[in-house]
Amino acid sequence: MKEILLSEDVVPIGEFKAHAAKWLAQVKETDHPLIITQNGRPAGVLLSPQEFDRFQEKERFFYSVAQGLEDIKGGRVFSTKDLKERLA
């Protein structure tokens, strides 16, 4: 994820609602996430579709690695010989 610039990437919800098209264009152009605040506190994050896709791809990768590590711990592994035999 791109670095968040506090001076440019944080906006109160009222400002966001008043100029939503501008903020959507900025997120698309800069690929920076936009933090939307409500009552001075973070309330949501707006991501570009590309950044959202990258985020989900990383999540799927980390999940796959975790599953693989659990398989190793559970003894659900194949030797190279066994694998070659199964694939033949």
pTM (global) more than 0.85: no
Q: Which residue carries 């152009």 as its tokens?
A: 29
What topology is assigned to 1-47 in CATH?
YefM-like fold (3.40.1620)
User: Biggest alpha carbon distance in the chain?
Assistant: 64
CATH 3.40.1620.10 domain span(s) along the chain: 1-47
Per-residue pLDDT for 6 more than 70? Answer: no
Banded model confidence at residue 3, pLDDT cuts 50, 70, 90: confident
Beta strands in 1-88 (DSSP E): 10-12, 34-38, 41-46
- Tens of pLDDT along 31-64? 889 999 999 999 999 999 999 999 999 999 999 9
pLDDT reported for residue 53: 95
* Pair of tokens at residue 75: 């003894």
> Would you say 1 and 12 are in contact if contact means Cβ atoms under 8 Å apart?
no
Amino acid at 18: A
